[in-house]
Amino acid sequence: MMAPASVIDYLIVHELCHFNHKRHNAEFWNEVDKYCPEYQKQVAWLKVYGVALEV
């Protein structure tokens, strides 16, 4: 199963934000939101379908 492009974009943003923020605190999520404003939708998709993804 492949993830939608929006989910892949979110994952990239999420990981890049870890360069500035090591923890998932409010500052981290604010930065994610700055680059991926609908990230909550991508998180929800991953919770439902993430286990079926293959790397």
pTM of the entire structure? 0.90
Helices and strands counted in the chain (H then E):
3, 0
pLDDT at 55 over 90: no
pLDDT at 1 over 70: no
- In tens, the pLDDT along 4-52 reads 999 999 999 999 999 999 999 999 999 999 999 999 999 999 999 999 9
Look at residue 45 in the predicted model and tell me its pLDDT.
Answer: 97
Task: Give the integer Cα–Cα distance in Å for 7 and 26.
Answer: 21
Look at residue 19 in the predicted model and tell me its pLDDT.
Answer: 98
> What is the chain's alpha carbon radius of gyration, rounded to the nearest angstrom?
11
User: Angle at the Cα of 12 (from 41 to 36), degrees rounded to 5?
Assistant: 40
Look at residue 49 in the predicted model and tell me its pLDDT.
Answer: 94
Parse the chain into domains and list their residue ranges: 5-52
